[in-house]
Amino acid sequence: MASFLPKNVQKLIEELSRLPGIGPKSAQRLTMHLLYSPEQRAQQLADAINYLKTGLKFCQVCWNIAENDLCGICADQRRRQEQICVVEDILDVVALEKTTEYHGTYHVLHGVLSPVDGIGPEELKIQALVDRIHAASSKDFEIILATNPGMEGETTAMYLLRILKPMGVRITRIARGLPAGGDLDYADELTLARAIQGRADYS
């Protein structure tokens, strides 16, 4: 980094370059953009970052982010409460909601099984999903496994199939409209919509 830059400018470039998808050059351009922006605009961004985690929690049902005990999706009685789409992370919920094709609820695992990285079932919200199904008055559920189609996503889907199938719920897997190794949050809305539409029983 150019040593002639003021320390506060260098510091912002360093912090921005630590964000995913932002390299040193992008961090420099963003920093310069903010430097030339009106002070109010820079302050609005600073406030948004400062208050990002204020008042946020995880939904007590699906583990999506929420402002209250329930997220907006779980609290919406128009959603199909007996239909649960299991996803890896919160960005997958965002991606699927953009399709406007899915009208059920979600369950966010907060990751995938990855023994190499030391991530087992206990590190994910798998038991919370099992408890959620056990607690339901009706077992007339459809569990849609929407983990990403890479090795870890498939391993996680197979593990979920093994523990959920004895519970007597219907288990489906999103269709292979997604490229192998691709992530849901990078797929376009049409591809995701077709993957939801073309889901099949998983066994």
pLDDT per residue as tens digits for the range 95-146: 999 989 899 999 999 999 998 889 999 999 999 999 999 888 666 889 999 9
Residue pair 149/179 in contact (Cβ under 8 Å)? The answer is: yes
Structural Rg of the chain based on CA atoms: 20
Residue 137 within a domain: yes
In terms of residues, how long is the chain? 203
Residue 193 within a domain: yes
pLDDT per residue as tens digits for the range 41-62: 889 988 888 888 788 899 999 9
87/143 same-domain check: yes
* pLDDT confidence of residue 203: 66
91/25 same-domain check: no
75/161 same-domain check: yes
75/32 same-domain check: no
29/83 same-domain check: no
| CATH classification of the domain holding 12 | 1.10.8.420
User: How far is the C-alpha of 43 from the C-alpha of 146, rounded, in Å?
Assistant: 39
**Please, which residues have CB within 8 angstroms of residue 105's CB and are 6 or more apart in sequence?**
61, 62, 73, 74, 79, 80, 81, 83, 84, 85
Residue 55 within a domain: no
46/93 same-domain check: no
Residue 2 within a domain: no
Pairing of strands 170-173, 142-145: parallel
94/146 same-domain check: yes
* pLDDT confidence of residue 112: 96
Range of the domain at 84: 68-201
Counting the structural domains of the chain, the total is 2
pTM as predicted: 0.75
Residue 1 within a domain: no
Residue 42 within a domain: yes
User: What does the pLDDT average to over 10-37?
Assistant: 90
